[in-house]
Every structure is written in C-alpha cells, then in structure tokens.
Structure 1
Amino acid sequence: MATPSVPQAQETAPSSPPPAAPPHSRRAARKAAFAAAVSTSLEWYDFFIYATAAALVFNKTFFATGSEVVAPLNSFATVAVGFVARPIGGIVSGHFGDKYGRKPVLVTAILLMGVATTLIGFVPNTSITWLAPAMLVLLRICQGLAVGAQWGGAVLLATEYAPAHRRGFYGSFAQLGIPIGVVMGNAVFLAVAWAVSPEAFTSWGWRVPFWISLFMLFVAFAIHRYLEETPEFQQVEAKLAAAPAQRRSPVLEVLRHNSGTVLMAGGTYLVGIVMFYITITGSVQVATTNLGITRSDVLAIILIAAGVLVPMVPLTAYLSDRYGRKLIYGIGIVGMGLWAVPMWLLIGASSSEDIWPLAVALIVSCVVMSFQTGPQAALFAELFPPEIRYSGASLGYQAAAILGGMAPMAMVALINGEVANLWRVGLLIAALSVLALACLVALARRRA
C-alpha cells in the first residue's frame, strides 16, 4: 500500500486573504468549535479534579502513611496511572475514529469519562485497606482511556470543520477545555471548601465535584443528536467506499510510515505537559505541605493563573494562523525553558504571609505555556493526512502523557521535603525544553 502524502503544515501567512467561507460553513465551524470547547472543558474538569483531590485529600485519607514524602508519592502514583492509560485510549480511539468517524468515538469517550468520574465520588471510606485504592486505580484508568480517546475527536471536530486559513484559531477551542477545566475544577473545590468545615471537606465534601460529572451524559447526547460528522471524514468515507482494496488498520499505517513524526511531536510536547501538571497540581502539594500556604489561597491563585490561559490560547492560535504554527509553538518552548528556574525560586520565596511570589510564578508560567497550547491542535492535525489523522494526532499528543503524568511524583522526589531543593524542579523543566526544541527543529526539517 502506498504511503499517503502528508500535507505541509501552514507556516506563513498567505500574501492575500483567502475567500471567506460560505455562511453555512461558518455556522457549522462555529457550532463544531463550541461543541469541542464544551466537551473538552468537562472532560478535562473530570481529569483534573482527580489530581486536585489527590493533592489535597487522598494523601490524608486513602493513602495516609504519616510521611510527607511517601503519602503524596502514593497518592500521585494513582494520578500517573491515568496518564499511562491515555496512550491506550488514543490508540483504540484512533483506530475506530479513522475507520468509523470522529463523532461516535468522541461521544463514547464523553460517556466513559462521565460515568467513571461520578463513581469516584462514591468510593467508600472502608476499613479494608486495599479496596478503596484498588477502586480508585480502576476508575482512574477509565478516566485515562476516556481523555486519551476524547482529545483527538474534539480537535478534529474543530479543525476539520474550520476554513483552512483559520484552523489554528478554531482548533484552539478544543484546547480551551484545558484551562476552563482547571478553572471549573478549582472553583468547585473552592466553593465546597468555603461551604463546609475542613473536617467535612476531608470526609465527604471532596466528593461533590465528582458527582457533578453526571452532566457529561447530557453533553454526549447533545453532540450525538445535533452534530454531523466532519466534512473531511465524509470525503474519506466516500474515497474508501470507491476503493476496491480493503483498508489496513490506521494505527498500523501511522506506526509503519509516520512513527518518527509521532515521536518527535510527542517530544515537543513533553516539556509542556510536565510544566502544566507541575504548575497546576504539583504546586498545590508544595504550597500546602512545604510552604504552609492555605488550601483556599493556593486554589484561588491557580484559578486565576488558569484563567489567564482562556484568552491567551485563542490569541496565540490566531498568531499561528498569521505567522506559522512552529514559530509560535517554539516561542512557547523557549519561554518555558527560560522561566522554569526563576519560577521555582519564586515559589520557594513564598509563605503564608507572602503569597505574591507564588502568584507571579504560576501566572507567568501559564502565559508562556499558552504559546504552545494555542497552536498545538492545528499543528498536530496538519502533520497527518485525513485517513490516519485521528490515530497520528492522538498518538503524538498522548506519547508525552506517560512521562507527563509522572511529573508530580518526580517533583516530590526531587524536592524530598526540602524547600531549598525547589530549584531542581526548574532545572528538570529547562532540560526538557532543550529536548523539545530539538524535536521541533527535527520535525520542521522532516516536514520540509
């Protein structure tokens, strides 16, 4: 079977504006972008609240050991399990998404995430030592499978409906789910922490954010009922229906002909996913355990920092439509590398009496991350032809997830309970940015 040609990613602005999409196409693109934003927001809300609960509660309940190092390591280990499952979800969903359509796989992923997250809220406090951790691990695996399947479907829903010259901007709506999910999760945790006593929060209040995930079922129904399959996949279906040869597995086609692209794409994102989860999750554990900052103050700062991403993600995606995906994406990589060590020095200078260094550290972190997050959806989608795009984009994105999910554990091990060791975390992120930049350069040369 001949290797399918891969379209070149858009790298420069066209000399003259392309013709506007017809009104019905613009309406469909806006509807698809809105559906992608809503579905990813709720999906990432579900995925992130587990990490927040692991940082605030699970290390004191299900995994309590009396050690400031061992307890959070055990708790964050279950967080990492979800990241290990994400590539599996990407592989399975990529196969079915390229063969049978983006929409049915996306709907299935939303349903799986909603059910698994709701059930986490019902995990019992039991005297049987192994039961609750085993249930958490199983349900966290289901979350990882769901988010691994969902990202590719939402991204392709947004980009394959979009006009070619606006794919970065429209694709960013799928990426918007990341900061919106963080904002929603932290807002709900803050509301519950404000409404109940600390003892009640640890006992049952932490369960409320998980029960809210039942709303995911209604979102899945709405997408199934009111949204059509993407135009590009409809063209692929028509092409394959006319072809007499039986089609091979899309995942195998990606691994056979595009494995280098997948690995380099994942390498470019490794620094982003590590910095994100250390910023959003790891800093909660460090600030509350090692620096003595209150839980409410930390959650409020993270809510503000993630809120900065909401306008920045579409802005940087728009810039990628104008000036090129890889340029804007590369600015994000360099920015994260340069900010990594100063960020953690500022965090180390924070205390319960002076939380402003922590706020500056996390807000600037989110600003520099946005330059990678914004153009990422369109960049990864444009690396692969439509026939294998779901598989290729999902594998490239989820390839970094395994190591990214272990970032909070690595952070705890590097710090080892000593605030003086915080700079080590920044050095790790800086080293990963060098690796990411090398992968981006190699990817650009490969595409050329």
Structure 2
Amino acid sequence: MENNSMKKVASASFLGAFLEWYDFFLYGTASAIIFNQLFFPDFDPMVGTIAAFGTLASGYLVRPIGGIVFGHFGDKIGRKKILAITMMLMGGATFLIGLLPTYATIGVWAPVLLILLRSIQGFALGGEYGGASLLLIEYAPRKQRGFWGGVLQSATPLGSLAATGIFAIMASMPESFFLSIGWRIPFLISIVLTVVGLFVRFSIEETPAFKEVKESGTEEKFPLVELFRTYSKNVWIAIGARMAEGISFNVFNVFVITYVTSHLGLPNSLALIGVSISSAIAMLLSPIFGKFSDRVGRKKVYMIGAIWFTIFAFPFFALLDTEIGIVIYIAIALGYALGTTPMFSIQSVFFTEMFGTRVRYSGLSFVYQLAGIVAGITPLVATSLLVLNDGNPLYVILYIMGMGTITVVSVLFTKETYKFDVAEQEKAALENINIKENGDV
C-alpha cells in the first residue's frame, strides 16, 4: 500500500477510536467526580461514589454482548460498515447523557436512564475496538504492524486526556455552574465529533484481508463457533493476558481520582491533572512501544508492562499517601507509562495475530470485552475494598497483584507472533496441501 493511503487509513481509524474512547472515558471521569451528587444524592459521599461506579460497570457488562454481535457481522459483512454503526450508537448515547435530567428532577428514573445510556455505550464499544484495530492492522505492512497498532492505541490515552482535560476545565468553574450546566458540556459536544468521525470513516475502503476472504467466498457462517472450535486455547490465554491491562487502566485513570479526592481529601483538580499528564505521556510512548515490538517481539514488550504493574502496586499507594502534588503526578505517570502503556500499545496487534482472518473480528472483540468485565468493575471493587478495610489500601494492592500475576502467567504461555502469525501459518499450510495435491512436491 502507498504511504499516503496508509496515512489516510491510520487517520480514519485513529479519529474514530479517539471519539469512541473520549465518550467512554468521559463517563468514568464524571462517575468519579460528579455523578454521586447528581444521581445518588441521598447516599453517603463514598457510598454514592460506589453506586456511581456501579453504573460505570454496567457499560462493561454489556460490552461482551456488543463484541459477539458486532464481531459476528464484522466477520461476515466487513469491518467498515460495523464501525459506522458503533460510532452512531456511542455518539448518540453520550449526547443524550448530557441532556439527562438529574435525581432532583425526575427521581429514581434519573439513575435508571443513566444506566440504560451507559449500557448502550458499552454495547457500541464492544464492536468498536475489534473493528478499529483490524481496519488499521490488516492494512499495515507486515513489519510495521506493531508501530501502526501503537499509533491506533495512542487514541485511547488521548481520549482519556481529552475527557479528563475538559472535565478539569469545567470543574474549575463556579460550583453552581458546574453542577447545573458545566458537567453537561463535555457530553453534548460529542455529537459534533461523531459527525466528523463518520465522514472520515466513510472515506476509506474495506481492508484487503477481508476483501480476499469475501471474494473467495470463505467467510464463516458462525464465526464465534469457529473461533472456539479452532482457537479455544488462544482465546483463554488472551483473556488472561488482558486482565492486568484492563485493570491497570481503571486504577490509573478512574480509581486514583476517587482515592485522591474522596479518601485523601485533596482537590479533584490534582488527580485530574495527574491523569492528564500520564495520558499525554502514554500517547507519546504507545507508538514507540509498538515499534519496539516489531523488532524484539510482542511477548517481551507485553511482559514488561505486566510485571511492572504487579510489582508497582505497593510503591504506587505509598507515593499517593504522601499527599504531595508532584509525587502523586509521578506515581500516576510511572504506573501508566511503564505498566499500562507497554501492554495496551501492542495488545490489539498481539491478539489479532493469534486468530485467523475469518474469525479475527469475533476473536479480538470477544477476548477484549469479556476480560473487560473485570476491568470495568475494578473501580467498584477497589473502592469497596478500601471501605471494607477502613481506608487501608492493602486489599486493593493484593487485588492488583493477584490480577497482575494472572497476566504474567498467561503471557508466558503465549507464542510469539511478530514474525509469523496464525493466519500466515494457516495460509502456508493450505498452500503446502495444494502443492502436494497437484503432485508438485
């Protein structure tokens, strides 16, 4: 593919992924800062935060359903069409959250509608991740997949940066304005971003890999069934490998805000700035880790992040407990940059290379979203563990270390894919069979 075309595909994939993650992380930031006051005002502040994190988790619970549904059709009718649908669903739900009446206006219906819209967000994101990843990775040159996958993944911290950044601006406004109108603005502007994203995505063609499958008439009738029939071992290994990445993201982006504000009693702007700084660093490092994986392998880079996340749990909370601004910034940045980033920067390409072309959308979506349930309930679990242990983070630390260990062990069982992935192995095997059948051995 010509370089200009690759840049065009990368731009479309990146913009779409950024918009989806902005919408999704916006909710997480609001849950940590304001939703307890607006939708659960009758609860104790910490209990209200737990309830708000419960609605946050609802989005993660339906993501596997979205992954199965959109993965199925993405493997049958193509990546591009499904991505347009997921973007419209996500953008529409986010916009409506910005219009939602609060508990003071409509009572219990406010949190009910909030959960419904959050679930639509999760359903949409269930299909977005796999499709956006494949749209770029299946276009990318073989020896540059890690780099381009890392470029796409940098849209995730950029989405988090944009969400926390604009919320920090709104939160700095007078409290009366923030509680009435300010918190809604970040949600409402998503509709403009959605329209722009749809226009860009419609400008690119379907991926060459899927075109080849479609033209040969070899697409699977039931991709998910074939996925488990052929790649069941890879599915479960990838789910285990995904645990630390998903949990780390919610620890360093969502739970840390609650810990710093509600537990330590520090200004919410302190935590938001810390998350914004770490997101900016991660955005820059993601393509670098991706490129590094093109040279030394996916497995080694992923393992760096998994091990760091596991061993950094104790130092992380010790640094936060100093209650010193610059030290808190360093703690969040170290956790995010060296723990989360090496994993998520190459995760999409690493997992993509574990599955054949005909079931990749289903495989990538199912693995990412099923493991995402654990990631999604992490702020809820961590906050509950903190309350259960009278504010001592020991149980949270043990939870982090346990999940990190699961990922380290899972990665040990993976096979390296950066030189020769599953789809290429299958193609080589098929060609060998054809040669023997033709008597050309």
TM-score if structure 1 supplies the norm length?
Answer: 0.89
Q: Hey, what does 1:128 align to over in structure 2?
A: 106
Q: Secondary structure at the match of 2:37?
A: coil
Conserved 8 A contact 2:220-2:226? no
Partner of 2:428: none
Tell me how far 1:259 sits from its aligned partner. 2.5
Residue 312 (structure 1) aligns with: 285
Does 2:42 correspond to 1:60? no
Match of 1:375 in 2: 346
Give 1:255 deviation, angstroms: 2.4
1:438: Cα distance to partner?
Answer: 1.1
CA distance in 1, matches of 2:267, 2:363: 43
The one-letter code of the counterpart of 1:428 is: Y
Q: Which residue of 2 aligns with 1:322?
A: 295
Quote the residue 1:8 is aligned against. none
- Structure 2 residue 165 is matched with structure 1 residue 187: yes
For 1:442 and 1:334, how far apart are their aligned partners in 2? 15
Question: Is this contact kept in 2: 1:168–1:318, CA < 8 A?
Answer: yes
2: CA distance, partners of 1:163 / 1:445: 18
Q: Which residue does 2:241 correspond to in 1? A: 268
Equivalent position of 1:252 in the other structure: 225
Structure 2 equivalent of residue 11 of structure 1:
none
User: Residue 33 of structure 1: CA displacement?
Assistant: 1.3
Q: In the TM superposition, what are the counterparts of 1:48-447 in structure 2 within 5 Å? A: 48-125=25-102, 126-194=104-172, 196-240=173-217, 247-350=220-323, 354-368=324-338, 369-416=340-387, 421-444=392-415
Kindly indicate whether the alpha-carbon contact (under 8 Å) linking 1:97 and 1:153 is maintained by their aligned counterparts in 2: yes
Tell whether the 8 Å contact from 2:15 to 2:197 is kept in structure 1 after alignment. Answer: no
Amino acid at match of 1:178: T
Gapped regions of structure 1 (runs ≥ 5): 1-23
CA distance in 1 between partners of 2:35 and 2:337 (Å): 30
Three-state SS of the structure 1 residue aligned to 2:123 is helix
| Alignment deviations for residues 376-408 of structure 1 (CA, whole Å, 9 cap, x no partner) | 111011111111111111111112111110000
For the structure 1 residues 292 and 419, does the alpha-carbon distance in structure 2 shift closer, same or farther, using more than 3 Å as the test? farther
Give the conservation status (yes or no) of the 8 Å contact 1:80–1:402.
Answer: yes
Query: CA offset at residue 203 of structure 1?
Result: 2.2
Cα deviation per residue 1:402-428 (whole Å; 9 max; x = unaligned)? 111000011111111767512332221
Identity %: 34
- Decide whether aligned partners of structure 1 residues 128 and 225 sit closer, same or farther in structure 2, where only a CA change above 3 A counts: closer
The one-letter code of the counterpart of 1:318 is K
**8 Å Cα contact 1:90-1:391 kept in structure 2:** yes
Whole-Å Cα distance in 2 between the matches of residues 420 and 131 of structure 1? 32
| 3-state SS, counterpart of residue 421 of structure 1 | coil
Instruction: Work out whether residues 111 and 216 of structure 1, in 8 Å CA contact, stay in contact via their aligned partners in 2.
Output: no
Distance 1:191 1:81 in 2: 27
SS in 2 for 1:138: helix
Question: In the alignment, is the contact (CA less than 8 A) between 1:45 and 1:181 conserved in 2?
Answer: yes
- The separation in 1 between residues aligned to 2:164 and 2:347, in whole angstroms, is 24
Q: Distance in 1 between matches of 2:49 and 2:336?
A: 24
Q: Return the alpha-carbon distance in structure 1 between the equivalents of residues 360 and 30 of structure 2.
A: 34
In the TM superposition, residue 224 of structure 1 has moved relative to its aligned partner by 4.3
- The answer to whether the 8 Å contact 1:39/1:154 transfers is yes
**Which residue is equivalent to 1:14?**
none
Q: State how far apart, in whole Å, the 2-side matches of 1:224 and 1:303 are.
A: 27
With normalisation by structure 2, the TM-score equals 0.91
How many residue pairs get aligned? The number is 417
Does the 8 A contact of 1:293 with 1:355 survive in 2? no
SS of equivalent to 2:202: helix
Does the Cα contact within 8 Å between 1:34 and 1:173 map onto a contact in 2? no
Question: Any idea what the Cα deviations from partners look like across 1:84-130, whole Å, max 9, x if unmatched?
Answer: 01111111111011100000001111111100000000110244321
For residues 292 and 271 of structure 2, the distance between their equivalents in structure 1, rounded to whole angstroms, comes to 31
Q: For the residues of structure 2 that align with 1:429 and 1:33, how far apart are their CA atoms?
A: 34
> Contact between 2:76 and 2:221, CA under 8 Å: does it hold in 1?
no
Report what 1:3 is aligned to: none
1:222 Cα shift? 1.8
Q: Distance in 2 between matches of 1:64 and 1:75?
A: 11
CA distance in structure 2 between the aligned counterparts of 1:219 and 1:236, rounded to whole angstroms: 30
Judge conservation of contact 1:103–1:224 (CA < 8 Å) in 2: yes
Task: Tell me, in whole angstroms, the C-alpha distance in 1 between the residues paired with 2:358 and 2:180.
Answer: 49
* C-alpha contact (below 8 Å) 1:340/1:426 kept by paired residues: yes
CA RMSD between the two structures:
1.8
Q: Would the alpha carbon gap of residues 45 and 217 (structure 1) be closer, same or farther in structure 2, given more than 3 Å must change? A: closer
Q: Which residue of 2 aligns with 1:4?
A: none
**What letter corresponds to residue 8 of structure 2 in structure 1?**
K
> Is the CA contact (8 Å cut-off) linking 2:389 and 2:395 kept in structure 1?
no
